[in-house]
């Protein structure tokens, strides 16, 4: 089981309470970015390109707690930047554990062994270690030779000390499905609790604008990777979100499901886009023109997006929206290995490493792909 029963219970009862209250827009995971600084400079990242005076800023623990209390989501993901570079990260995590929030501290793990003494093992705390594939693929993605070995060593140490550990992996164009599947084997052998996946998103600030996936290629790649699954693989994601990535389901984006709070305030409308900021979560919900976002909206910035922060909450919503959704989730979790002979054949196709690829908010030619 990739997630403890207590966490599943907390999240399920929370969602059911929202439904009984008739709430259509409710947060599931708060994306809390306490800083943008990082000790890596990954080619696909849009967070570290801010000017120095912004990169120097930190959210205080009190600002973090206020946002968490105001939002009310049962889970808090702490990305960044690199959260372990925050001078008060231990205090922030301790305060969130005291609030019984399930925390995913997203880290590249370069500092994890050095800082691990700041934390106590808890069912509420998971280190979500950023690993973008096997050694060569990961080091290339994070532009740091040796990054994989440091991260894997830190994962071992965290597991040895009794912490919950997952991986989070962003896949870009040119990812080799066979290698990704071998990476899953490596991670499960390492002993992580589960794995998270997302296709990359074309941040306009990211230095590499060539290797982001369009929707049709995203579906094809995830079909090759996630069909014919090994029973050992555990994913720390909704099975319906994985089916969405494989092209078996379609969902609208629900960006309020994973709202973002950072040094600028509550970001409109989502983790990826910056169409302004609100001072409070209530203001974010009330003043964002939600109909302008999501694939169906026709907004070119959303056209090729299938990222976790936009669509996993949609998949969770689908689980609780009907008996069919619930049964599909149970089947996806416990029973289905997604047998697919065509997907097996796709694993043997040569991987084309470089495309002049889809840029979001790009030309009509690139948007063609979305309609495939
Ligand atoms: S589709 Fe993607 S970019 Fe658009 S609002 Fe949703 S998460 Fe944000």
pLDDT tens digits, one per residue of 120-146: 999 999 999 999 999 998 888 888 889
Q: How far apart are CA 152 and CA 107, in angstroms?
A: 12
The Cβ of residue 139 has, within 10 Å, a number of other Cβ atoms equal to 18
> Which pLDDT score is estimated for 361?
36
User: Which atom number of ligand 1 is nearest to the Cα of residue 254?
Assistant: 6
> Which pLDDT score is estimated for 50?
83
pLDDT digits (tens, 9 = 90+) for 303-359: 889 999 999 999 999 998 889 998 999 888 887 789 999 999 999 988 866 433 333
Torsion angles phi and psi, residue 70, rounded to 5:
-65, -40
Torsion angles phi and psi, residue 111, rounded to 5:
-105, 5
> Which pLDDT score is estimated for 49?
75
> Which pLDDT score is estimated for 210?
56
For residue 343, the number of C-alpha atoms closer than 13 Å in the C-beta half-sphere is 20
User: Which atom number of ligand 1 is nearest to the Cα of residue 253?
Assistant: 6
Distance of CA 293 from the midpoint of ligand 1 (Å) = 6
> Which pLDDT score is estimated for 1?
58
Test site for ligand 1: of 251, 272, 284, 361, most ligand atoms within 8 A of the Cβ: 272
> Which pLDDT score is estimated for 211?
56
Q: How far apart are CA 304 and CA 370, in angstroms?
A: 6
Cis peptide before 81 (omega within 30 of 0): yes
> Which pLDDT score is estimated for 140?
85
Low-confidence ranges of the chain (pLDDT < 50): 354-372
Distance of CA 91 from the midpoint of ligand 1 (Å) = 31
Test site for ligand 1: of 28, 213, 305, 314, most ligand atoms within 8 A of the Cβ: 305
Q: Choose among 272, 277, 299: nearest CA to 288.
A: 277
Torsion angles phi and psi, residue 269, rounded to 5:
-95, -10
DSSP characters over 26-64: --SEEEE------S---TT-SSS-S-HHHHT----HHHH
> Ligand 1: residues within 6 Å at CB?
253, 255, 269-270, 272-273, 293-295, 301-302, 305, 307, 309-310
> Which pLDDT score is estimated for 367?
35
CA nearest ligand 1 atom 3, residue: 302
User: Which atom number of ligand 1 is nearest to the Cα of residue 294?
Assistant: 1
Q: Which two tokens stand for residue 282?
A: 């209530």
pTM score of the predicted model: 0.89
Distance of CA 273 from the midpoint of ligand 1 (Å) = 7
């Amino acid at each position: 089981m990739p997630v403890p029963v207590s966490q599943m219970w907390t999240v399920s009862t929370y969602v059911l309470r929202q439904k009984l209250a008739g709430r259509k827009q409710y947060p599931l995971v708060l994306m809390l970015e306490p800083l943008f600084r990082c000790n890596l400079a990954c080619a696909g990242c849009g967070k570290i390109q801010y000017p120095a005076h912004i990169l120097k800023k930190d959210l205080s623990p009190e600002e973090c707690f206020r946002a968490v209390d105001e939002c009310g989501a049962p889970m808090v993901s702490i990305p960044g930047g690199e959260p372990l570079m925050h001078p008060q990260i231990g205090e922030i995590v301790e305060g969130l554990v005291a609030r019984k929030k399930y925390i995913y501290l997203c880290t590249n793990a370069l500092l994890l062994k050095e800082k691990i003494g700041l934390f106590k093992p808890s069912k509420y705390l998971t280190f979500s270690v950023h690993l973008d594939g096997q050694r060569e693929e990961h080091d290339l993605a994070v532009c740091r030779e040796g990054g994989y070995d440091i991260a894997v060593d830190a994962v071992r140490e965290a597991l040895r000390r009794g912490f919950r550990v997952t991986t989070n992996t962003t896949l870009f164009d040119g990812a080799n499905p066979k290698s990704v599947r071998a990476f899953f084997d490596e991670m499960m052998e390492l002993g992580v609790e589960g794995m998270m996946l997302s296709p990359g998103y074309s941040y306009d600030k990211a230095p590499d604008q060539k290797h982001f996936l369009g929707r049709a290629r995203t579906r094809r790649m995830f079909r090759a990777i996630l069909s014919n699954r090994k029973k050992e693989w555990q994913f720390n994601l909704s099975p319906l979100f994985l089916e969405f990535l494989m092209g078996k389901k379609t969902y609208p984006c629900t960006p309020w499901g994973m709202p973002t709070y950072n040094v600028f305030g509550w970001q409109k409308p989502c983790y990826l886009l910056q169409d302004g900021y609100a001072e409070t979560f209530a203001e974010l919900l009330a003043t964002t023109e939600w109909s302008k976002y999501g694939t169906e909206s026709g907004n070119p910035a959303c056209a090729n997006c299938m990222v976790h922060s936009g669509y996993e909450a949609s998949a969770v919503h689908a689980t609780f929206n009907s008996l069919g959704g619930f049964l599909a989730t149970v089947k996806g979790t416990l029973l289905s290995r997604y047998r697919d002979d065509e997907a097996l054949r796709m694993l043997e196709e040569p991987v084309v490493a470089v495309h002049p690829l889809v840029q979001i908010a790009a030309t009509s030619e690139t948007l063609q792909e979305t309609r495939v």
